[in-house]
A and B are shown apart, each in its own frame.
Chain A
Amino acid sequence: MMWGAFTSEWTKLRRPTLFFSTFLGLAFAASLFVILMFSQATATGGLVTLHQLARPNGLVIGVARASMLLGVVAFGIAASQVASEYSLGTLRQLLVRQPRRAVLLAGKMLGTITFLVLALCFAAVVALIVAVVAAQSRHVPTSAWFTGTGLGDLFRELGDLALATIGYSILGMALGQFVRSAVFAVIVGFAWLVAVENIVTRIVPSTEQWLPGASITAVASGGVEGVGYAHGMILGAVYVVVAVAAAMTVFLRRDVTA
């Protein structure tokens, strides 16, 4: 039954405007980070040094640095996909054809998550190709990138990015379920992840390890200063589970009057 909800969601998600804007938009954002990083890198400074870029993990540094931006975009798309079912009124049509609400929500979530993870993978592949080209132009040696260590770093980082994207997507869909307005969901989500968490962390630095956005970003980056990878993974998982449970509870009980 969930397969039906999943494939139905994909019918909607693969419409050209959304499909191309998401895939190309994420690829552009990730590539832009890579280009900026390589162009600004010097022997001693910049966002990273040329020496750091030549290390085995140099191939994925740019994509990893873009993880917050990619996550915020994924969050916004996920939130708007859920909320727009209310604002368009399409939810009532969907519930007539699939009245088992838990099945419908699970299928839609799975559809959106796979869509965004695929978009992220595409963006990463494009950004990695850009990184190889950029390395040639800046004469950064790339031999270490394609060693066993380098490829291990690559796949580990891509795995972490995928996990982070899943986390951002689920939080976005839960928020969309609560607020039922695509615009409001995107604004609230962006404001929280980009502004509120930063402000709170600057005022009370110890809160960083307990905030949802910071936790998931830590997962995407393999751990950051102040929030370790394992801590981010556990706390992020808790946030995701709570978000799914809350969204499911609301959806199962809510009268659909839109």
Chain B
Amino acid sequence: MTLQQAMDRADERPRGQLAISTAGLTKRFGDRTVVDSLALAIPSGSVCGFVGPNGAGKTTTIRMLLGLVRPTSGSGTILGGSITQPATYLNKVGALIEAPAFYPQLSGRENLKALARLGRLPLSAVDPVLERSGLLARAGDKYHSYSLGMKQRLGIAAAMLADPRLLILDEPTNGLDPGGIVEMRGLIRSFAGDGITVLVSSHLISEIEQICDYVVMIRAGRLVHQGSVGELRGTQQPDFILAPERDADLPLLTGLLQEAGCMVTQRPAEATVLVEAPGFGAADLNRLAARGGITLRQLAESTRSLERAFFALTGTASADVPAGQEMGAIR
């Protein structure tokens, strides 16, 4: 199943059923409020991106959902079970929390067997999840000999062990090389194809944009936005990428757009300009260029709009900026 097909399928699903819902979920460590009155509503069957800067409270929220951390206040349900009774739903949940953690002296297979025995799951479930995560050939090797990518894949295999209806993956691409990131994305997309609800946290918007159909954004422990990716894009004034037919016209095009009140960023390497143009549509920009005698070879909405939406909603210039550190304009 392609990503587009998965997204189309997600759009067709009734949004009434929620895999995860919380109300007023709060966690304080001493005087520090890490998660503040969080109200999540994540539809069943969605691939939901959980986005926020480092330190925004994503991992603490996930730990509360998994029963590892006790909420200070608030309530919630996961797959219909109360978060105060994690035993009622965790048999249908798989999770990868931060860095994968296994016994170094055991093989990948033995590590999964230990988890299977603990959860009273059939040992016959171990090899299929190893195969799906691409680790079967190295399953007999000790965990400490694995590369970071293999450790992540074993973490995913462990999460899949219980044949889950909900997968919670906390920064699953952390530390992976570009090839590993692409592999991980493919794996997550394949879960969506199986109808599993996936909650995937990340501080990398571009990553979320590529695999998710639903997004929850938090900052400093508070909910900033939640909704479908399409809805989020719809709330934002789109940016445009313009490319003149002749590269030499780039300065002239930039001048025309700036005179019209647009914010323009030149991208000489691509011979394009990125235009933030409140109140302008594609036709307006095309007309503006034609009036200046410039023919456009490209006029497209910026694919970075989700990232820009995040920045606009969270007030940060980078998803990595620690919570509380305000930033100015993005250009």
User: What is A's interface to B at a CB cutoff of 8 Å?
Assistant: 1, 4-5, 7-8, 11-12, 15, 17-18, 88-90, 92-100, 104, 253, 255-257
Residues of A within 8 A of B119 (CB): 4, 97-98
In the complex, A133→B43 CA distance in Å? 73
In the complex, A92→B68 CA distance in Å? 7
In the complex, A93→B95 CA distance in Å? 8
Asked whether any CB of chain A lies closer than 8 Å to the CB of B63, the reply is yes
Identify which of residues 90-107 in chain B touch chain A, using a CB-to-CB cut-off of 8 Å: 90, 93-95, 97-99, 101-106
Q: A11-B113, A88-B101, A255-B68 are in contact. List 5 more A-B contacts (CB 8 A).
A: A4-B117, A89-B98, A95-B67, A97-B90, A255-B63
**CB proximity of A156 to chain B, nearest CB, Å:** 36
In the A-B complex, the 3 residue pairs with the smallest Cβ-Cβ separation, listed nearest first, are A89-B101, A8-B118, A97-B119
Which of A11, A96, A100, A255 touches B95 (beta carbons < 8 Å)?
A: A96
Identify which of residues 118-177 in chain B touch chain A, using a CB-to-CB cut-off of 8 Å: 118-121, 158, 161-162
- B195-223 near A? 1/0 per residue, CB < 8 Å: 00000000000000000000000000000
**Interchain CB contact under 8 A, B68 and A12:** no
- Interface residues of B, CB < 8 Å — how many? 33
**Interchain CB contact under 8 A, B102 and A95:** no
Residues of A within 8 A of B67 (CB): 95, 99
Asked whether any CB of chain A lies closer than 8 Å to the CB of B86, the reply is yes
**Interchain CB contact under 8 A, B105 and A15:** yes
Which of A4, A15, A17, A97 touches B162 (beta carbons < 8 Å)?
A: A97
Which of B66, B115, B162 touches A8 (beta carbons < 8 Å)?
A: B115
**Interchain CB contact under 8 A, B86 and A93:** no
Asked whether any CB of chain A lies closer than 8 Å to the CB of B87, the reply is yes
Residues of B within 8 A of A8 (CB): 114-115, 117-118
Asked whether any CB of chain A lies closer than 8 Å to the CB of B69, the reply is yes
A-B contact pairs, 16 of them (CB 8 A): A4-B117, A4-B118, A4-B120, A11-B117, A12-B106, A15-B106, A18-B105, A88-B101, A88-B104, A92-B66, A93-B97, A93-B102, A93-B158, A96-B93, A99-B87, A255-B63
Most buried by A among B95, B115, B121: B115
Residues of A within 8 A of B120 (CB): 1, 4
Known: A1-B120, A99-B67, A256-B63. A93 touches B106 (CB 8 A): no
Residues of B within 8 A of A90 (CB): 101-103
Asked whether any CB of chain A lies closer than 8 Å to the CB of B9, the reply is no
Asked whether any CB of chain A lies closer than 8 Å to the CB of B110, the reply is yes
| CB-CB nearest in chain B for A108 | B118
Identify which of residues 60-104 in chain B touch chain A, using a CB-to-CB cut-off of 8 Å: 63, 66-70, 86-87, 90, 93-95, 97-99, 101-104
**Interchain CB contact under 8 A, A94 and B118:** yes
Residues of A within 8 A of B106 (CB): 11-12, 15
In the complex, A256→B64 CA distance in Å? 10
**Interchain CB contact under 8 A, A15 and B103:** yes
Residues of B within 8 A of A100 (CB): 87
**Interchain CB contact under 8 A, A99 and B63:** no
Known: A4-B119, A93-B102, A99-B90. A257 touches B95 (CB 8 A): no
**CB proximity of B272 to chain A, nearest CB, Å:** 45
**CB proximity of A104 to chain B, nearest CB, Å:** 8
In the complex, A7→B115 CA distance in Å? 10
In the complex, A18→B63 CA distance in Å? 31
Which of A1, A17, A97, A253 touches B115 (beta carbons < 8 Å)?
A: A97
In the complex, A8→B111 CA distance in Å? 9
| CB-CB nearest in chain A for B94 | A96
Which of A15, A89, A99, A255 touches B86 (beta carbons < 8 Å)?
A: A99
In the complex, A57→B106 CA distance in Å? 42
**Interchain CB contact under 8 A, A97 and B69:** no
